[in-house]
Amino acid sequence: MSEVKGGWVGKILRVDLSDEKIREQELSKELAYEWIGGRGWAIKILWDELEPGTDPLGPENKLIIATGPLTGTIVPNSGKVVVAAKSPLTGGYGDGNIGSHLGHMLKMSGYDAVIVEGRAKKPVYLWITPNGVEIKDASHLWGLSTFETEIALRRDHGNDIGSVVIGPAGENLVKFSVVITEYGRAGGRPGIGAVFGAKKLKAVVAHGWEDVPIVDIDKAFSLSYEARRFLMSNSMYRKWIEQGTMMTIEWSQEASVLPTYNFTEGVFDNFMNIGGETMAKEYKMLRKGCFSCMMPCGNLSIARFGKFKNTWAELDYENVGMLGSDIGVGSMDEVIKLNRIADELGADTISLGSVIAFAIELYQRGIISKKQTDGLELRWGDVDTVLALIDKIVKREGFGKILAEGVKKAAERIGGEVPKYAIHVKGLEVSAYDCHAAPAMALSYGTSPIGAHHKDAWVISWEVKYGREKVDMTKVEKVIEFQRIRGGLFEFLTVCRLPWIELGLDLEYYVKLFNAITGLEQSLDNFFFIADKIYTLIRSFWVREFGGWSREYDYPPRKWFEIPLSKGPLAGMKLSKEIYDRLLDLYYEARGWDKSGIPRKSTLEKFGLLDVAEKLEKVGVKLQD
């Protein structure tokens, strides 16, 4: 028996699809106390168990689905799971955090995490209950959209299940395919869907009914009720549940950071049509929240006009920015259609928007022609061509096959000056904030541990208030603080960050809840130490996989340095390389990494990671003291 008392249920499920072996292992005290859960477990397991140079789409790659000690409990917004693997899109560490009902179902089935190894001979899915774990035939599901798959799974197993599934994009190994849960919630941007696909794993499904152990259940509930009252008393609460993240469209327009025409501009003429106000008044039909969610951000919206009438999809800021303004689409009905298609196919809306915008820009600049695009005339905002292109990408046909590799590889393939138009960091496409005039947000994208993603240090709104033009240590400290909290604390406790970031719920609540639930005594400082340790191990993973490191890997897209904005209040602005380098130097120093971004030996030692140092040296990485 595992020694953990509450929060964690104490078991990890390990499934080898190659030889169909199902094993249970005890959750060790070390893994629980030192790495907490979620992202902490994912990087620890991937570092320990993957050989350097593992093929992300080979059977040796491992897929981690991890909950945390607070996941699936009464803690506000605790319905999260982390899905992770070595990324086929970037070649480095890849993870995603998905709001779902899978987390509590896994825990109620008796498991904190699932590790999937090997590769099945034919399509399968995992069916997990307290009565046992089965590798089930998924031949009848292979080829189906994510929506069809979830409907079929519920027909067989009842409606009360938690699931993550992949669609045709994941099956066809599109490098930016994601997993989808409950009809339109996605996770695992760095191609976790393709890792599922490569393993011939269509879905992971759980239905549990066992109690989740909690040391002080009265306290956990009373603290959560307090938190609930605090959240609901916030004057922004009502607007939040009406619009969720969609209100960011209007904010981004005003701040001139709304990605437009492949991050060429920060303002979009038709932003009102795709904004939060319009959605809330005219398109939203239903709220959808994850497990225990007090701030449901799932805006189920239904198209009302034109040929896509009655199509519904779940809208969030990032999806609408990237499959809206960034590709020049200024109609909510069309944005809904594009989001629905992306979710059905299981392609990441952000990266999909980015590769399409990239292709349209190349076409509009005359760098590519109909010859390369298989006859498609690519124009901004032309939804029919975009749909045709999406079809090609997901089927990996012709031009679509190049784009299915993500913008970085597509740009390298086309060659010449084209990489200048590829908007990514480390191969992961940038999510929906333009940083021509936001050096701290650019640094946040540059140093995010999975490539350019907003999940970790979303400092943009702070930076706009603080002063974009400023270059100082405060900005670097803010990036690190946010990485600790958003990329660390919330990722290893595996709960949603929105109550804290949007409505100001004090972080001490999470410490108190953690202590009540697990019966341990943790402090915020200790959590931050663990967060920094996780960051350092993730960086070590990248360094190991890349056989060294260059600070250029931590640079934002070239476009922000080279092509200034031409519209809006910030016209003429671009990012300064000199300033960025200065911020990056300060960042490395604060993290205890050397000038090229490799953790110093002393830093590894501080975190008790000397074995990591040894392994890095073994593969020829020179570590500074």
Partner 1 sequence: MKHIWVDATRCSGCKICEQVCAKTHYNVQNPSKTALKINTVFTSEKIWHTHTVCQQCGPDAPCIKSCPTGALYWKKDAKIPHLAIDLNKCESHFVCVSVCPYNAIYRHPALSNPVFCDLCDGDPQCMRWCPMGAIRLVE
Smallest distance, Å, CB 288 to partner 1?
6
Residues that bind partner 1 (CB under 8 A): 73-74, 79, 101, 104, 108, 147-148, 150-151, 154, 159-160, 182-183, 208-214, 217, 220-221, 225, 228, 231-232, 241, 286-296, 298, 300, 310, 312
Cβ atoms of residues 468 and 442 within 8 Å: no
What does the alpha-carbon distance between residue 560 and residue 569 come to, in Å, rounded to a whole number? 16
Which of 195, 253, 232 has the alpha carbon at shortest distance from 61?
195
Q: What's the one-letter identity of residue 302?
A: I
Tell me how long the chain is: 625
Query: Edge to edge, what strands does the sheet with 284-288 contain?
Result: 284-288, 298-302, 312-315
Q: Which is nearer to partner 1, 183 or 549 (CB)?
A: 183
Smallest distance, Å, CB 467 to partner 1?
36
Q: Which is nearer to partner 1, 144 or 435 (CB)?
A: 144
- How close are the terminal C-alpha atoms of the chain, in Å? 41
Helices 349-364 and 332-345: crossing angle in degrees, nearest 10, is 120
506-515 contacts, C-beta under 8 A, 24 or more apart = 509/223, 509/226, 509/227, 510/70, 510/75, 512/219, 512/223, 513/70, 513/75, 513/220, 513/223, 513/224, 514/7, 514/69, 514/70
3-class DSSP string for 275-344: CHHHHHHHHEEEEECCCCCCCCCEEEEECCCHHHCCCEEEECHHHHHHCCHHHCCCCHHHHHHHHHHHHH
Number of H helices, E strands in the chain: 27, 17
Which of 150, 5, 149, 180 has the alpha carbon at shortest distance from 81?
180
Smallest distance, Å, CB 287 to partner 1?
4
Q: Is the dihedral of CA 490, 495, 498, 503 positive or negative?
A: negative
Which 3 state secondary structure label does DSSP give 232?
helix
Q: Which is nearer to partner 1, 137 or 216 (CB)?
A: 216
Q: Which is nearer to partner 1, 333 or 434 (CB)?
A: 333
Smallest distance, Å, CB 221 to partner 1?
6
Smallest distance, Å, CB 335 to partner 1?
18
Which 3 state secondary structure label does DSSP give 422?
coil
Max distance between CA atoms of the chain, in angstroms, equals 67
Q: Which is nearer to partner 1, 90 or 129 (CB)?
A: 129
Smallest distance, Å, CB 340 to partner 1?
10
Q: Which is nearer to partner 1, 109 or 483 (CB)?
A: 109
What does the alpha-carbon distance between residue 299 and residue 284 come to, in Å, rounded to a whole number? 6
Smallest distance, Å, CB 2 to partner 1?
17
Smallest distance, Å, CB 323 to partner 1?
20
Q: Which is nearer to partner 1, 11 or 392 (CB)?
A: 11
Q: What's the one-letter identity of residue 348?
A: D
Smallest distance, Å, CB 293 to partner 1?
4
Q: Which is nearer to partner 1, 207 or 426 (CB)?
A: 207
Residue 362 burial (C-beta neighbours within 10 Å; 0-12, 13-18, 19+): buried
Residue 219 β-bridge partners: none
Smallest distance, Å, CB 76 to partner 1?
9
Q: Which is nearer to partner 1, 222 or 624 (CB)?
A: 222
CA 455 to chain centroid: 6
Smallest distance, Å, CB 237 to partner 1?
9
Q: Which is nearer to partner 1, 104 or 408 (CB)?
A: 104
Smallest distance, Å, CB 224 to partner 1?
9
Q: Which is nearer to partner 1, 286 or 473 (CB)?
A: 286
Q: Which is nearer to partner 1, 245 or 256 (CB)?
A: 245
Q: What's the one-letter identity of residue 436?
A: H
SS3 content of the chain, % helix, strand, coil (to 5): 45, 15, 40
